Structure 1
Amino acid sequence: MTSTSKKKLLIIVAALGIVAGSCYGIYAWKDAHSDQGKQISYTAFMEKVNAGGIAKVKIAGDQINAVGKSGEKFQLFLPAGAELADTLVAKKIDFSSNPAASEPKWFEISIILLVALFLVMVLKRYGGVGRSKARIIDCSESLTRFNDVAGAEEAKAELLDTVEFLKDPAKFSALGGKMPTGVLLVGPPGTGKTLLARAVAGEADVPFFSISGSEFVEMYVGVGASRVRDLFAQAKKAAPCIVFIDEIDAVGRKRDAAVGGGASDERDQTLNQLLVEMDGFAVNSGIVVLAATNRPEILDAALLRSGRFDREVTVGAPDIRGREAILKVHSKNVPLSPEVDLMVIARGTPGMSGADLANVVNEAAILAARSNKDFVEMLDFDNAKDKVLMGAEKKSMVLSDKSKLSTAYHEAGHVLVAKLVPGCDPVHKVSIIPRGRAMGVTLQIPEEDIYCYTKEMLLAHLKVLMGGRAAEEIIFHTTTTGAGNDLARATDTARKMVSEWGMSRAFGPVAFGHQENTDGGGKKGFSDSTALEMDNEIRSIVTTCYADVRTLLEENLDALERLTQELVVKETLDAAEIDTILGLTTADDAANASCCAAA
């Protein structure tokens, strides 16, 4: 029996319960009131009996219902101790006697009605619990096209085959070709995976079923599998179509027999049903499953095998030309000043995703509107970029002179190390105005997109992170909690250098992976003794970098003081101002420590 049939049956049962309860209440009420007549006293009743005016009597407990010879009805109550039966027999009056009549069972009736009402409410809430929660967008509503997706040219090219297949499945089957039944979109958050899926549906002009992986799983075992069946049953009726499962890692995680519990059982059943449905497609059935995730490494191997998700399309962060195209898409309805150069903005936003860039354009428009401008200017984009990268300024937060000076030394330490150590990303701006959760911010922006980091670049990054704490310790002979985030990031980078990237002399080119396996087993991929050696190596890398930074800053205390004092006065310094303070004229001079020391 299908979930729909069960729902209809339960509704019928609930309705019959309500009807039965209502009928019982009406019958009980009629039964209790059917023999009621004129209320008379016992004395008057006995006078009528002695006079021969009573034809019939019905006694129920202490209640008497009588009918006169004229048809008139009477009702009274028998007094305690009164004897009536002998008198009625002597007068030859027809009478009957029953136990006391029960009162209408209103309590039982109320219970029946409340239970029936509760069943109706439960059916309304959970009657469709096994139905798919997918949002269906038909052809007329699929307005997204590939032109609306910028910065993902390679991904769009890979998805063109899917579009052609959905438009004309017979074209491929005629030559014996079999199109992939599933395409997995992989990439970090905000890179446009969902938008790409919508664009495929729009280009192919087919219905689009959209659902999140978490919407399959409920606390009730078997519900997720039922929803998967219902989703694909709807898709088969609407074929050709696209089924899009966002965040599929919520339901497609690797199965582990060692992990028990209802939640795990429900997730495994849901995954098993998904595997069955995807494997049961007929050749060129017209259904394409698109799924998105930013954690492909935790997906079950059975889900990724050929015949299910045949293709994996990587949707990464856009390059400089992609960022410019994304900015053009999001700013097409924004009035821009003639001075605005989107390429300059794109060059200063490496690593940003499409969602980040959309946020920059939106924030710039808001800042311009707040200043009552008719156009969005380049300054608005610069401020918006800083807000997205560093957080909003907390101008209402007033720092004491001591806290302000400590923050200035901390940020000056970051800046000076970034200027002195070769291989560091250029410093774009430094500020001691509190932003977000930080008391101060040093913003570094690489000159070009970086896709692979060398060991030297990572060590330089570690040293910049250590610069703030080292400056505080040199000047104040103590440390503060302000360096907590810097230390956490430095330790994480050092751990990856040792365990994942093979950049440790102690272990060589060996990758140990994460501390915990991703298959859910919770076991380490290495022994406890190896873990201890790794901890020692991580500590050695971090402390060595810290010692080098202390020495570097101690040799350039004059430059540190100049940067700090200017920060205290101006609160924010850009790249040009920093170079002027340090006596640098070109970017190449920034890598020369002797220039800084002599300034």
Structure 2
Amino acid sequence: MKFNWKRTTIAYIIMLIASIVIFAILIPGNQNKPTEIPQNTLVSLSQEHLIKTIVIDGDRINITTTGNYPKQGDPSGEFFTYKETLTSIYEIPGFDPTGIEITPKGPSSFDWGSLLGTLIPMLLIGGMIIFLFSQARGANNQAMSFGRSRAKLFNVDKPTTCFDNVAGVDEAKQEVQEIVEFLKSREKFQALGARIPKGVLLIGYPGTGKTLLARAIAGEAGVPFFSISGSEFVEMFVGVGASRVRDLFDQAKRNAPCIIFIDEIDAVGRQRGAGLGGSHDEREQTLNQILVEMDGFEANTTIIVIAATNRPDVLDPALLRPGRFDRRVVLDMPDLHGRLAILNIHAKGKPLSPDVNLETLAKQTIGFSGADLSNLMNEAAILAAREDKKAIEMCDLEESIDRVIAGPERKSRKVSPHEREITAYHEAGHALVARMLPNADPVHKITIVARGMAGGYTKQLPAEDRYIATDSQFKAKLAISMGGRIAEEIMFNEMSTGASQDFKEATNLAKKMVTSYGMSEKLGPRTFGSKEEMVFLGKEIHEQRDYGEKTADLIDQEVEALIQNAYTSARTILTDNKARLVHIATQLMAEETLEGDELEKLFTEALPAAAPTAPVEPPLAKNDSPSEKKAEPVLQPRDKPMEPGTASPAIAPA
């Protein structure tokens, strides 16, 4: 419970005002307090017939005077009191009772006003103390309830998410929909002897919709749904996590049939026997309690546990066995139809311009997860609102794609004309090599506008979704990575730092081709190097060599050969098409961004008369015969590198 200072302050002010009002009403002020007089004054007042009434209250005599009392201005109704233990008022020497109304009240009279004046303040003080303690307990709820579960119980009467809000994971929806149907109509499955899965593990990359699918299950099931994160079980005190697990399943048993959803279960379900320290012992105790509750001596057939993780490789084998998590549901990246369905869901409620084509947008977002697509639509809406548009246009959506991939444009970045020219030739080199290679992905956009850490970039989009890659596609990627540096060398006869990220990616890809994918003729179809991961410590990966020094030299030679062949191939393309490279770079410096038909025209149109060069031929179609293929240019040896000590301008990596 969160402590609300505003509400507490208002409550204190109200209690203070109420206390002041009650004290003012019940406790008489100083002006009504009787004046105590001695016995001789009492006798004198009686002899002078200035006493109107006398009320005897135990050992106290309360006197009311007449209006003829000379010591006060108009003492009519003035109160006095005389206190002395008396057997009878008439025994006072010299007292004259003539004309005085004497009322004996007796010792049994009870002063209710004094009682209320004392009791009510005590009640107010006690209530204030209780209120303060209740607020303190609410503000420090963790300290008051260590072993209680923090799972949230969702209202089954008002579902906010259902299966209609989930798209792109049709197979996963079907798997979990059977669980919902079982909870609603058990007889259909029990008639065939089917047993409901005790646990369902949702596995997928971040952003693929695991938590969203769990919320949809809660909205569709119509049964109590408890949701908790794996990290909420573990505390610094040993035994707290296991106690929370027991309390969670006790609540679930009281609300059975129900569903328990544990998000990011890898926080508590990692393999046992790894790591050091007290937190390790606490995590193991918590995991042991989860194992017992899911499939222990007492089976809970009406409680279904659904867990989500993007690290199934670090989970304990005892947690993954049948009987605990009987079913594993994999949520992969959405394909073209899935992306289109996701875009339609997130486009609801947003005014779209008539030029918006979500199918075209889905084709441009290969590799995007559901979370990326949701962010894309939101960024497009923000961009449209920033420019005071009434509807979201296609240009806003395409701009949001670049923002999601590379970040926002840095138009305020000051770049010198020379660095701008280097960047233009660098990106034109990437694009021209990609256009010439038949196994490369089509070039969709070139820009020299800085985004994020990049001074410019060349965006390629595959024509279709791919789930496997070939060695020819990898070799094309290596050549494209070399295209930027080679274009700089050809035009400026010097090298810059702009290709550092290109070389890093090319080296990693060439190494994977040799050591992981078996794409080396000398080393053959095998893998090299074993990776061991400390599952308790997170993503620390230790690579161990399972090969000798001679094999290591061969791996280096094969990686070097792949990169040098890619370098030579890219250099031959750019050297033979230097005029085309200059034509593209010049137009890029003028326009800053080239895409679509305008970009395709630069690849195919005739060059100016000053530099006649044949247009770049598009890649061969898959059904073209080898005899129709254009002869590739003869590969030339790499030119002599620049002399040491030559200055190289630094630009942001592409």
Shorter-chain TM-score bucket reads: 0.7 to 0.9
Q: In the TM superposition, what whole-angstrom CA distance separates every residue of 1:381-432 from its partner, at most 9, and x where no partner exists?
A: 2222232233211111121112211211221121111111121111111111
1:306-321 paired onto structure 2 within 5 Å: 306-321=322-337
1:224-243 paired onto structure 2 within 5 Å: 224-243=241-260
Whole-angstrom CA distance in 1 between matches of 2:542 and 2:390 = 60
Q: Does 1:356 align with 2:354?
A: no
Whole-angstrom CA distance in 1 between matches of 2:194 and 2:300 = 9
Distance 1:484 1:237, change over 3 A: farther
Distance 1:297 1:588, change over 3 A: farther
Q: Does 1:251 align with 2:272?
A: no
Q: Does 1:129 align with 2:150?
A: no
Whole-angstrom CA distance in 2 between matches of 1:317 and 1:206 = 30
Assess if the C-alpha contact under 8 Å between 1:431 and 1:442 holds in 2: yes
Q: In the TM superposition, what whole-angstrom CA distance separates every residue of 1:328-359 from its partner, at most 9, and x where no partner exists?
A: 11111011223322212112222211111112
Choose from 198, 201, 206 the match for 1:184.
201
1:292-303 paired onto structure 2 within 5 Å: 292-303=308-319
Q: Name 2:234's counterpart in structure 1.
A: 217
Q: Does 1:483 align with 2:499?
A: yes
Whole-angstrom CA distance in 1 between matches of 2:523 and 2:514 = 7
Q: Does 1:138 align with 2:158?
A: no
Calculate the TM-score normalised by the size of structure 1.
0.73
Choose from 560, 563, 571 the match for 2:584.
563
Q: Name 1:9's counterpart in structure 2.
A: none
Q: CA deviation at 1:568?
A: 1.3
Unaligned runs of at least 5 residues, structure 2? 1-132, 607-614, 621-628, 635-654
Q: Name 2:128's counterpart in structure 1.
A: none
Q: CA deviation at 1:536?
A: 4.8
Q: CA deviation at 1:489?
A: 2.3
Whole-angstrom CA distance in 2 between matches of 1:384 and 1:484 = 27
Assess if the C-alpha contact under 8 Å between 1:256 and 1:519 holds in 2: no
Q: In the TM superposition, what whole-angstrom CA distance separates every residue of 1:408-460 from its partner, at most 9, and x where no partner exists?
A: 12211211111111211111111110112211111111111111111211221
Choose from 461, 470, 473 the match for 1:445.
461
Name the Cα RMSD after superposition: 3.1
Q: Does 1:205 align with 2:234?
A: no
Distance 1:313 1:588, change over 3 A: farther
Amino acid at match of 1:532: A
Assess if the C-alpha contact under 8 Å between 2:530 and 2:546 holds in 1: no
Q: How many residues align?
A: 480
Q: Name 2:548's counterpart in structure 1.
A: 529
Choose from 501, 512, 515 the match for 2:531.
515
1:142-541 paired onto structure 2 within 5 Å: 142-169=159-186, 171-257=188-274, 259-280=275-296, 285-512=301-528, 515-517=531-533, 524=543, 526-527=545-546, 529=548, 532-533=552-553, 534-541=555-562
Q: In the TM superposition, what whole-angstrom CA distance separates every residue of 1:553-586 from its partner, at most 9, and x where no partner exists?
A: 2332222222221111111110322222222699
Q: Name 1:583's counterpart in structure 2.
A: 604
Amino acid at match of 1:558: A
Q: In the TM superposition, what whole-angstrom CA distance separates every residue of 1:81-135 from its partner, at most 9, and x where no partner exists?
A: xxxxxxxxxxxxxxxxxxxxxxxxxxxxxxxxxxx9xx98996543333333333
Amino acid at match of 1:568: M
Whole-angstrom CA distance in 2 between matches of 1:474 and 1:222 = 68
Distance 1:281 1:209, change over 3 A: farther
Q: Name 1:551's counterpart in structure 2.
A: 572
Whole-angstrom CA distance in 1 between matches of 2:316 and 2:590 = 57
Identify which range, 201-210 or 576-585, moves more after superposition: 576-585
SS in structure 2 of the partner of residue 239 of structure 1: coil
SS in structure 1 of the partner of residue 157 of structure 2: helix
Distance 1:271 1:455, change over 3 A: farther
Assess if the C-alpha contact under 8 Å between 1:583 and 1:596 holds in 2: no
Assess if the C-alpha contact under 8 Å between 2:175 and 2:329 holds in 1: yes
Assess if the C-alpha contact under 8 Å between 1:582 and 1:596 holds in 2: no
Assess if the C-alpha contact under 8 Å between 1:414 and 1:467 holds in 2: yes
Identify which range, 408-417 or 582-591, moves more after superposition: 582-591
Amino acid at match of 1:571: E
Whole-angstrom CA distance in 2 between matches of 1:380 and 1:596 = 42
Whole-angstrom CA distance in 2 between matches of 1:301 and 1:587 = 56
Whole-angstrom CA distance in 2 between matches of 1:549 and 1:241 = 61
The structure whose residues are more often helix, as a share, is 1
Amino acid at match of 2:340: E
Assess if the C-alpha contact under 8 Å between 1:390 and 1:443 holds in 2: no
Q: CA deviation at 1:205?
A: 1.1
Q: CA deviation at 1:528?
A: 5.7
Assess if the C-alpha contact under 8 Å between 1:368 and 1:375 holds in 2: yes
Calculate the TM-score normalised by the size of structure 2.
0.67
Distance 1:252 1:510, change over 3 A: farther
SS in structure 1 of the partner of residue 618 of structure 2: helix
Q: CA deviation at 1:548?
A: 2.8
Whole-angstrom CA distance in 2 between matches of 1:229 and 1:461 = 54
SS in structure 1 of the partner of residue 531 of structure 2: coil
1:9-48 paired onto structure 2 within 5 Å: none
Overall identity of the aligned pairs, in %: 51
SS in structure 2 of the partner of residue 515 of structure 1: strand
Q: CA deviation at 1:181?
A: 1.0
Amino acid at match of 1:246: D
Whole-angstrom CA distance in 1 between matches of 2:523 and 2:230 = 39
Whole-angstrom CA distance in 2 between matches of 1:317 and 1:587 = 35
Whole-angstrom CA distance in 2 between matches of 1:422 and 1:463 = 12
Assess if the C-alpha contact under 8 Å between 1:512 and 1:525 holds in 2: no
Q: In the TM superposition, what whole-angstrom CA distance separates every residue of 1:38-97 from its partner, at most 9, and x where no partner exists?
A: xxxxxxxxxxxxxxxxxxxxxxxxxxxxxxxxxxxxxxxxxxxxxxxxxxxxxxxxxxxx
Whole-angstrom CA distance in 2 between matches of 1:388 and 1:190 = 13
Whole-angstrom CA distance in 2 between matches of 1:373 and 1:122 = 46
Whole-angstrom CA distance in 2 between matches of 1:484 and 1:546 = 14
Q: Name 1:64's counterpart in structure 2.
A: none
Q: CA deviation at 1:593?
A: 7.8
Assess if the C-alpha contact under 8 Å between 1:183 and 1:291 holds in 2: yes
SS in structure 1 of the partner of residue 548 of structure 2: helix
